[in-house]
Each structure stands twice: as structure tokens, then as C-alpha cells.
A and B are shown apart, each in its own frame.
Chain A
């Protein structure tokens, strides 16, 4: 065959040269399909027991509220996990999540320190990396 279409053109004439322009897409990576099935192992063996006499706190509504903040708590300040994959805007709609608490619980809560945004972190690293 002395003469064929494209003979003088710079077009791949051999299979390997043509194939190099077509990345291997017939081998599909399966990535993390099995990871979706992973189950974490947790440890709950003991059934909840009634170790304290139970009575609804409404029965104690005449008791004086108290704060449970104790001085040495400051040494081991609680640092809460900030949920990932969730965004929290600063919208005005502020339905309070305290509605429905018993009077005693509400008054104790009012007497205690509230958690601030600085104490809600995605990870400890973020806090360590922050200057100051």
C-alpha cells in the first residue's frame, strides 16, 4: 500500500501511538466503596440501672438552684466538638433550645456559665496552631 489517506500527516499509524491518546478508562477504580460499609466497634455492655431514686425534677421546683461550676473546673476546661459537614450561620431566628426544661433545670442553667464559640472546636490542632 503505497498511498493511503493521511500517509503524509502526523497522525498515529501504529496502535500503541493511537492508544497513548486514549487514557485507560476501561479499568474503573473502585475507590472507597467498601469503606462505606465499615462498622465502628463500640462498647456498651452494661444495662442502665436505677442506682439513684428517681423522681421528676418538677417535684423539686421549690429547691434553690445552684451553679455546678467549681473552681478547679477551670484547669480542665471543656472543649466541645464542632460538628463537621454542618454550617452554622448567624441567622436571626433564635428559637431557644432551652424551652421545655423544668423550672429547676432552667434556673440552674441560668446560674451557670454558658459555653462560648471559642470552646467549640473542629479539632484540637486548630486550636494549637492559632497564635496567642
Chain B
């Protein structure tokens, strides 16, 4: 033990100085030596605080301050979670003893903050189910306990709300989705919640639903919609708008109006959306405020960058269209901006190195998403070229389009993706759908017909069951795609060996096809690209994005099954051929060309027959060369 002991206020001051120095230089850490220096500074700050706790007699206020700072450093900078937890636990003990021996009972907030660390922050950092479960049990006990106390002190009621939220959060991490829903409804039972807390609960719950691709119930989307600009801070309002935009993008809906809302919002609040603005505070009750982890509350630059990414995804299927190819313009811009933002982040002062690292990780996520969508876009533009991607789904899809591999092994590879534990529901559904189409084509070709037909029925069941659990069940594009797939595989003109089905099933699918066809069919009198203009007559819900492939399939199927007039049919088949050519899919172009040839022959358009024959001849040559 040192003989000459420094006074307690000096040691405390030193701890502050070491931490402030570390955070001031965090952006300068470039090599291993400097990383060691950074950690040494933090270790000095920790050592000072531990020394104070060990050596000096502290008042309860001093102990509180020192312990919370110490715990914060340990959680933020180290893996010593047990140590941090033991400090919080003993502080909580001291507060309890103090509370029972004093008459004031004024340390409620302090005790509750200890609980919050033990039941929320520390278990979330530990990240294991074991710790989530233990914390959830204790948290529910605490909520019960606070409910019984609530008559005595208003603060208890406010803290009860916080722990009800924590309980919901822990249930989310445990994947107890039904319980999460019940807990969210419970949180809403209290009509006197402050607007900020109401807004926070709904924003965070909507985010959770979207992350899991669950359908958004109507009351939730209404509550989300009712969060008004005047009730919450600008960054929260931005969060609301971004969530609403995400819902539209996930549903493949038109986002133009939402983008206009952003424009108005930026005009009003651009200056308030800075990193330094103190927007992370949420008011739980009249005397209780909590803070959100601020690095993820978005500033203006981040928001604008994300808007570009979200727009690109929304417009991705239109990338072939020169007038609407937003993704072609925007995706490279996202890469450029993100790289720039990363450089700016590396020069940020006054924050922990781990905070910088967390934000850099966030930017990495944006870059990795952007790379994924760039490859997807390339695949749309050049369907038969080889596209390399680290993403499993894209890799197999590219191989399928290349048709160098035999169908069975492509199906096997999709199976691997479908079974992978880290695949999302959406990825699994796409794998299943592609497998279904390949197997159904084998049925049509008569290759092990019975076996593949049985497999098709099994896969179809899996698709419909899986879809029902996700928000995609409300997605019109998915619904239309599945309807068309069913028609293609269950009717004679589209498959040589249709899979058997009952009349009811057939009629049901034809009726659905009719709805989508009527709402989206090509307008023939005018140019092909024109949208149907008949206002009001078409159900908006059924209107789909103008993706070329979808248009080809829908018009081909609708033209063959629902149209009677030969002249109209001829126009549709001509349009389908044109679209397939733009889409650079020779095999599809060939099939639509055969249909057009038949139509023209029937209509005795001799000139058109000659032209179409010539086109088909050259197409056959092209396909055969590619096949070799």
C-alpha cells in the first residue's frame, strides 16, 4: 500500500482526466501501439475509481456516482461483465439498507437505475438466452412488486412502465412473439401515458415487427400514423417516417408520397438533425427521463443516405427503364456517401472508441446491403451473365440463370439455403419458389414426373404456410406471383403435364388472375409502357410495380386465358415478345414468339407471320449457340 495517499478528490479528478483524454484521442487510434495506449488510459480511469471505492469511506451519493461511472466504463470498454454486475449488486444492497434506515425514501430513482442495469443493459450485452431468461423472470417480479407499491409513490408507477417495456424487450430477444404482442397491448392499457413514451413504445414495437417481418396490425400502424410532428423531437419524427417508408418498401407499394413528406420534413427540421442535438431523451413520466443509445438516432446525412438506399430497393425492378432507373443512379451514390461518412466518423471527437466502432459497423451494413442490391440489379440487366456474390441466394440464382448446372443440383443448393438457420423467411420463400418452378418444369418435361409432382405439392404447402406467418402475406406482388405460378403449373397450355387439382382450386386461381390482370394489363391502343389510366375503376391494392418479367407473365397468362378477341390477343402477344427482348431472356422470348406466331397465323396476318418466323429462326440460332 502506498504510504503517501492522494486525496480522494484528486484521484476522482484523475479518473475523469484519463477518461476524457481517451475519448478525446479515440479517433486518432491508428495502430496497435496507440490502441494499447487508449486502453491504458481507460484502465487508469477504471483503476482510479476502483481505488476510491476500496480505500476511502464514501457517502452514499459519492458511492453512487463512482460506481455508476465505473460500471459504465466496464460495460462500454471491457469484457469484465461479472465485475460490473457485482459492483451494481453491492451498490443496490447499500441503497436498500440506506433506504430502510432513513426516513426519506428519496433514492428510488437510484435503486431503479441499478435494477435497470442488472435487468436490461447487462443481460443485453451478455446476449445469451440463459441471461435473458433470468432477467425476464426478475423483471416480471419487479413489475408485480411495483404494481403493489404504486399507491405510495408516483415514481413507482413511472418505473413500472419502464420495466414493463424491458420485459417486452427481453421477451423479444427470447423469440416469445405471442407474449411480446400481449405485453405491447398491456403497455397501451394506460391512457395517461406521456406522448413521448407512447410514441417510443410504438416506434420500437413497429421496428421489432419489421425486423421479424411480421404483419403490422392495423391499430399499430394507426398509432404510428398518429405520432405528430409537434409531439416528438425531430429525430423521432424521422424514425417514424423511416418506419412508414420501410412498411411501404416491404409491401412493394408506391413510395412517392412518403418521399414528399420527407421533403417537407427536411425543409422544416434539417438543422435540428445533427449529431450533437440531444434528441435521445425520452420522457417516461413527469419526473423520469431515459436516454436512447444515440449513435443510432439518425442525423441528416445518414437519413438522406438511407433514403437513397431505400428508394433504390423500391425501384430496383424498374432498373431497365431509362426513365425510372433510380437504383442505377443511386446505388453507386450510396457507396460513395457512406465511404465519406465513414471517413468523417473516424475523425469524431469525444466518444468511446467502441462507439465509433459500432457506428462503423452500421455503415458496413449499409455497404453490404448496397453490394447485394447492385448484384441483384446487374442480374436484372444482364440475366444470363455470371454474377458473383458472397450471398448464397444470389449465387444460386445466378447459376440457375446460367443453366450450366443440372436442375437437380440447383434444387439441392436452394435446399441448403432454405435449411440454413441464418436465412431469413424471405430468402427461404424465394428458395422454395425457385425450387418449385424448376421441379414443375421437370414435371412438364416428363422427367421423373410422379416424383417431382409430389415434391411440388409438398413445396407449395411449405410456401403457403411460411407466407402466412410473414408480412409478405399482404404483399400484392407476392400474391400475384404465386397465383401466376399456380396457373403455370396446373393448366395445359403452360405445362405439358399439369399437376392435378380440383375445379374449385382452378376457378379460385383464375378469378385471382383476372383481378390482377384487369388491374395491370398492358394498355394496347397506346404505347406499351403506358400505365392504364382508368382512374377509380381499378383497385389500388391490386396495382403492381412495373417489373418487366411480371408484366410478361401476367399478360401472357391473361392473354391466353381471359381474352377472347383475336385482334387484342395478337397485340398482347406482340407486346410480350417485345418486353421479353428488352428483358434479354431469349427462352421466354421464344415461347412468347411461338404464341404470337400461332395468333398471327390464325388471324391470317401473312406479313406478320413471315416476320415472326424470321425472328424466331434467328432466336433459335442464338439459343443453340449459347447452349453449346
Q: B195 interface residue, CB < 8 Å from A?
A: no
Decide yes or no: A120 and B591 within 8 Å by CB, A70-B54, A93-B31 being known contacts.
no
For this complex, 13 residue pairs linking A to B, each with C-beta atoms less than 8 Å apart, are A12-B587, A14-B591, A17-B444, A19-B488, A40-B293, A41-B166, A43-B290, A46-B113, A49-B65, A51-B62, A57-B10, A66-B5, A78-B78
For B442, give the chain A residue with the smallest CB separation: A20
Interface size on B, residues (CB 8 A): 157
Decide yes or no: A78 and B357 within 8 Å by CB, A88-B30, A97-B21, A115-B36 being known contacts.
no
Q: B196 interface residue, CB < 8 Å from A?
A: no
Query: Would A91 and B30 count as touching, CB distance under 8 A?
Result: yes
Query: Would B481 and A120 count as touching, CB distance under 8 A?
Result: no
For B550, give the chain A residue with the smallest CB separation: A26
Q: Is the interface of A mostly helix, strand, loop or mixed?
A: loop
Decide yes or no: A48 and B65 within 8 Å by CB, A34-B211, A97-B41, A120-B36 being known contacts.
yes
**Which of these, B5, B32, B357, contacts A84 with CB under 8 Å?**
B357
- List, in ascending order, chain B residues with CB within 8 A of A41's CB: 120, 124, 165-166, 169, 204, 290, 292-293
| Complex Cα–Cα for A113 and B344 (A) | 33
For A8, give the chain B residue with the smallest CB separation: B620
Additional 12 contacts, C-beta under 8 A, given A12-B590, A81-B79, A109-B44: A10-B627, A17-B591, A23-B400, A29-B426, A41-B204, A51-B65, A70-B50, A73-B47, A78-B78, A88-B34, A90-B32, A120-B35
| Complex Cα–Cα for A14 and B13 (A) | 80
Mark contacts of A36-79 with chain B using CB atoms, 8 A cut-off: 1 yes-contact digit, 0 otherwise.
11111111111011011111110010011011111001001011
| Complex Cα–Cα for A99 and B350 (A) | 16
Total number of residue pairs linking A and B with CB closer than 8 Å: 369
Query: Would A83 and B354 count as touching, CB distance under 8 A?
Result: yes
Interface core residue of A36, A95, A117 (most chain B CB under 10 Å): A36
Query: Would B365 and A32 count as touching, CB distance under 8 A?
Result: yes
Q: B547 interface residue, CB < 8 Å from A?
A: yes
For A40, give the chain B residue with the smallest CB separation: B293
| Complex Cα–Cα for A67 and B47 (A) | 9
Q: B385 interface residue, CB < 8 Å from A?
A: no
Query: Would B588 and A19 count as touching, CB distance under 8 A?
Result: yes
- List, in ascending order, chain A residues with CB within 8 A of B588's CB: 18-19, 22
**Which of these, A20, A28, A94, contacts B31 with CB under 8 Å?**
A94
**Which of these, A23, A40, A64, A86, contacts B397 with CB under 8 Å?**
A23
Q: List A residues 85-132 near B (Cβ within 8 Å).
A: 85-86, 88-91, 93-98, 100-102, 104-105, 108-109, 112, 114-117, 119-121, 123-124
State the Cβ distance, A58 to closest chain B Cβ, in Å. 10
| Complex Cα–Cα for A117 and B519 (A) | 65
- List, in ascending order, chain B residues with CB within 8 A of A57's CB: 10, 13-14, 17
- List, in ascending order, chain B residues with CB within 8 A of A13's CB: 591, 594
- List, in ascending order, chain A residues with CB within 8 A of B42's CB: 80
Q: List B residues 5-24 near A (Cβ within 8 Å).
A: 5-6, 8-14, 17-18, 21-22, 24
- Which 5 residue pairs are nearest across A and B when measured between Cβ atoms? A83-B357, A20-B441, A34-B210, A40-B293, A68-B47
